Structure 1
Amino acid sequence: MPSLTGHLRRTIAVAASFAFSSLAFTLSCTTPAHAAAVSDGVVKIGVLTDLSGVSSDNAGKGSVLAATMAIDDFSREHKVLGAPIELVSADSQGKTDTGATIAREWYDRGKVDMITDLTFSNVALAVDRIADEKKKIALVTGAGSSAISNEQCTAHSVQWMYDTYALANSTSQALLRRGLKSWYFITADYAFGQALEKDASEILTRQGGKVAGSVKHPVNSPDLSSYLLRAQTSGAQVIALANSGTDTLNTVKQAAQFNIVQGGKQVFTPLLSLITEIHGMGLKNAQGMILTNGFYWDQDDRSRAFAQRFHAQHKKMPTMMQAAVYSAVLNYLKAVQAAGTDEADAVMAKLKSMKIDDPVIRNGQIRADGKLVHDMLLVQVKTPAESKSEWDLYKILETIPADKAFAPLAESKCALVRK
């Protein structure tokens, strides 16, 4: 990131108002050039992420960097409508009450206009309700439960990158086309894992497949051997992982110890696996797995240019969650500029009228239910021999159009959708 000069500064501070560890830093301008259309004279963005838990490598500091890059790219002066843009961040610790406490503090006293990332579905659902109550904005880039933009949708939130339906739908169809019809689920026992298994099971059954069984494990389980043995003995053709972060990484690594991956009798597929996890598993363990992603750094020239800038500072390629933070922050600022105000309803109306097309999102549009639908990617993990560099991990098998990847709006249970 370019250094700030003269009248610009960045401060890094611990947020003392919370009884837990949190990271906060501010991008600000010392010049008091505040526009009347901007509330409190500042446009303030909060990244509420996972800085210490199972998804800290998938979001965390990388999400904060992505937000910073978006602000830099929108305005080198870090201003919109003549007012300074500020950024704060904190660790939700994956806890609903902690995330809700931070969100209320930010919205009520911290002058925060928009919160993004929201890595965990339980946190995202709680913050979405608070944002709606306070008439503020929440752009969910990390959490995937389809309920966020379905049964529990709100007028002031957008599910930005993916949901459990899009992941399950694309991956299950690809494996069913290969004749793999019987599935066994290893599921993390929390909102996201349960939603992912539910969506995948319903899609699978509707398309002629069958669920041979499932088992749930606690989040952040170091030993998954008993769950893997149950899956192995089930005889299912596919062992599907409905978990995330280090749980997914550990499951695949431990599966290699039982020769499940290399044995060839069962296909192993994580329904959500990000590039940092595949990198951590190693191509020897992950090779051949078919996945659905909303972003891959090597998709085209635009994605490569963004990812290489990110890598230069983070020393890792961006995950789709981190890339989504960049897209959400950039387009939020564009909407504030176009609306001429940071008032939430006006900004949401402008966001929903915009075409979302940037280095991360292709052919994006925010629907009435608050779901950003866009093209998704079906990818296959390369073999060690196919990979030409450290982060050359995927072959793109197919670009899935938005209307094929996401559940039809006609099937939505969102109260904002007029039937």
Structure 2
Amino acid sequence: MNRINTLLLLLLCTGALASCRKVEYRTVSNPAYIRVFNNLTEPQGILNKRPRPFFCMFIDPVMDEKGKITGGATVSDFLNKRGVYAAPNPAHVGLSTSKFNPEYPGKELVPAGPVLNGFDLTNWAQISAGKHRFVFIYRPVSEVPFFQLQEDLRSNIALDTTIELKEKEVYTLHVLLEDFLARKHALYVRQENFYKQAFYDSLVYINFYNLSGKGYLQADESEKDLNSLDIANMPHRFGLKDDMHIYISHISEKDSLINEYAYQFAGTMHWTVNNPMVTPYASFPIFRDKANNGITTKAWQIIQFVKPGINPGVDFRYASVLPTLNVRFGIDYKAGEFGQVMFKDSLYNLSHRANEYMPNMVLNVHSGVDNPRSFGSVNSLEFINGRMYLMTIQRKYAPPVY
């Protein structure tokens, strides 16, 4: 169930003849919109005594006379590390009994963003514009609420910073390592502009960011979290160079390359952890299936990152092997020179793709008389310390006309 943006009122009725009680809606004056991700990962073992990156987040904290935090304008407990996929709808609400939250607002029932210029912002929380202090405190990995923890477990501050937010602007925030070797934390704040751009409904859009901590590629393997299931077999788990060329290939429903859209150059991904500017969007068609009257698509994508000077369409291509198999067939590359992300097919999500493929960027929703119908989306693919993360944003559409 979607988080209702306006929350005009909630009716709590007990039986058909029972009276209803009105619950007041918490309004936010002069709102900005924020979405917060915890991007910290730590290898866990005997030699690593660092705390696990599990937080209670305070916005504009309240202190007692001893300087201890007693509350805040916003308190978001159980902020866990993010998942590899940030869905276009509030998918975390109501799907799990766990208190652990993969993002903010995530499971939090707070005033959410509106539909802005056709983009659904229900995954962004409203917050008053202006200056705000953000404090992230390490806490034990448990479902015990923060203020029920013993006092010595409530004082390990991971990050304390103040930022300024502009009215009616949309922000994506990341807690991350600005310097990997020095373990220097930072709050990365990106002011988005996707809702200000003229995007075609018939295309999918994606942009790219390398937000790895400084020195990740050069760090010793013992410092990296390399054994997690989500990156154990990925060629980019050791890191990528600061500048990587991007190539996108498209695969048909028959698992064959769409030749005219194979190995298309899509720009360059730069290391931008110190420069939170929005990067240019690349685009590609939805590839609607003509046999299905153009209602849905079964196509899927592969995105490859290579150091400048390598062309995967020439250097990696095999006559009868999909580019998904490039790494498995022993391509000679050095750490930092090659990365790859593979997406599930749009409609069927075949089981042999379940664990190693990202969800497709083409969204299938019930629209008009069609259930489903395939629509494009706007996406950001973020590379952070050996992992690829996808954030997908959904647009609102009028009924399709053909």
The answer to whether the superposition gives a TM-score over 0.5 is: no
Q: Greater share of strand residues, 1 or 2?
A: 2
From the two aligned structures, give the one with the greater helix fraction: 1
Q: Which has the larger radius of gyration?
A: 2
